[in-house]
Copies of this chain bind each other. A is one copy, B any other.
Amino acid sequence: MLIEMKNSALSQIGQRTPEPPISWLMQTALTRPRLISLAAGFTDNPSLPVAETRAVLNQILRSPKTGQSALQYGSTAGDPALRRLTAQHLQKLDGAHGENYPPERLLITSGSQQLLYMTAEALCDEGDIVFVEDPTYFVYLSILQSRGPRARGVRLERDGLDLAHLEKILTSLKRSGELRRVKLLYLVSYFQNPTGVTTSFEKKRGILKLLKQFERAAGHPIYLLEDAAYRELRFETVAAVCDRRFSDGMTNIRRSQTAATSYGEKSALAVPGAAERVIYAGTFTKPFATGARVGYGILPEPLFTTTRHIKGNHDFGTANLLQQLLARALASGAYAKQVARLQKRYAHKARVMKLALEKHFPSAVEWWEPAGGLYFWARLPKHIPTGVKSKVFQTALKNDVLYVPGELCYADDPARRKPNHEIRISFGNASEAEIREGIKRLGNVLKKFYDLPNL
């Protein structure tokens, strides 16, 4: 009945939001039942806190009073008790004083992803510039592409962002008059997705100092958005446990931890002056339950207020039932127990992957062992591409093993050729047996290509 139109009615955003590359990978996985996916960022199934969640939900829903409150709308910013508990939790992670962790500037979100999206909305117009690590979290690149600002990659070293490179880019943008387009720097600060790299506290301090130096020329604040999604999935605290289970040492992991540093590097919130410039994005999704998606952010004013208004338009508040679940889990200690359990579990799975990599990967492949999070990062020689159309990827697929090609994690940048010889491999969702078998299959594929002079 209705005519087919030649043009679509899609907006600029609509036209700029294609299928994310990762969706294609996931769909591919579904079509091959024998396939072992080391690509997904899903978390470990057997460790999910099923009994704990059931117990907490029963507590909430046992009485009409707490039950009705959990099943009613809440406020846009989030449940007051959860905001207070989350602020305390962050303060404890940083071993710091309270002033930089105000519940009043803490926003509860539907996963930390929603905070990444809304801060991009609140800060960035089309053509603005956002600094990202090179490589970075690929969904953040999708957000920027859809919304219109340009991503500008800053080199990543083993201890985090390359400050000299950041300064060089800032200086060059100042010279070209583009500094006013720079709005923020996005940093996945702990056990980064995709590389596993953690940025040191000193570097966070250095980033804030550098950004500040260029603010006057920019004419407005330049924010540091610290995405700490993987922060609590650290292995350090369970190093002693692992050492008892495995004969060989965990060389990349410091063994003796004082109580003060057992939580690892402090967040950028602990840098003096952070209250005005640091956006901290955290989540309970990965350290507790991925199906109960609750994230949060601490934001400077006026950004906090603006982002809260934007959230009012998105959904006027994250599902109250999930917020009550997390608030009770935090208050009762169930959350802390689950995190400790996950840390052990992932430390063990990372260990399984490390042993498999040592056994099956060609010895010349360089791979980075993480001290937390869900990912190993491996680098092949430059003449062996790993992208979705590459022979390596296609052969791996034929052999029923899937990884994330490294090139998906790099921003477009005319100043450098996009590296295309790396891979991200995850031990998050695969079982121990799948990790062993998956790495064996992938190693066998790589061996076929490794000795070839050129492809």
Listed residue (A216, A302, A313) with the most chain B CB atoms within 10 angstroms of its CB: A313
Copies per complex of this chain: 2
CA distance A324 to B221 in the complex (A): 43
For the complex, is A292 an interface residue (Cβ under 8 Å from B)?
A: yes
Asked if A72 and B290 make an inter-chain contact with CB atoms under 8 angstroms apart, the answer reads yes
Cβ-based interface call for A143 (8 A): yes
User: What is the distance, in angstroms, from A284's C-beta to the closest C-beta of chain B?
Assistant: 11
Task: Determine if A240 is an interface residue (Cβ-Cβ < 8 Å).
Answer: no
Determine whether the beta carbon of B302 is less than 8 Å from that of A10: yes
Contact of A113 among B122, B273, B306, B315 (CB under 8 A): B315
**For residue A285, which residue of chain B has the nearest CB?**
B73
**Stretch from A41-49, A244-252, A254-262, A398-406 at the B interface:** A41-49
Q: Is the CB of B23 within 8 A of A50?
A: no
State whether A11 and B128 are in contact (beta carbons under 8 Å apart), knowing that A71-B48, A290-B72 are contacts in the complex.
Answer: yes
Stretch at the interface among A59-67, A163-171, A339-347: A59-67
From A143, which residue of chain B is reached at the shortest CB distance? Answer: B313
Which of A14-22, A356-364, A378-386 makes up part of the contact surface? Answer: A14-22
Residues of B within 8 A of A43 (CB): 72-73
Contact: A71 with B312, CB < 8 Å? no
A3 at the interface (CB under 8 A from B): yes
Which residues of chain A from 73 to 87 have any CB-CB distance to chain B below 8 Å in the complex? 73-76
- In this assembly, does A114 line the interface, its C-beta being within 8 Å of a C-beta of chain B? yes
Chain B: CB-nearest residue to A61: B54
Measuring CB to CB, which residues of chain A are less than 8 angstroms from any residue of chain B? Answer: 1-14, 17-20, 23, 26, 42-43, 45-46, 48-51, 53-54, 57-58, 61-62, 64, 67-76, 110-111, 113-114, 117, 121-125, 128, 139, 142-143, 146, 183-184, 208, 212, 215-216, 219-223, 272-273, 276-277, 289-293, 302-303, 305-306, 309-310, 312-316, 318-322, 324
Q: 18 A–B contact pairs at CB < 8 A?
A: A2-B215, A2-B277, A5-B221, A9-B183, A9-B223, A11-B128, A12-B125, A26-B75, A45-B68, A46-B68, A50-B64, A50-B67, A110-B110, A113-B313, A117-B314, A139-B316, A146-B313, A292-B321
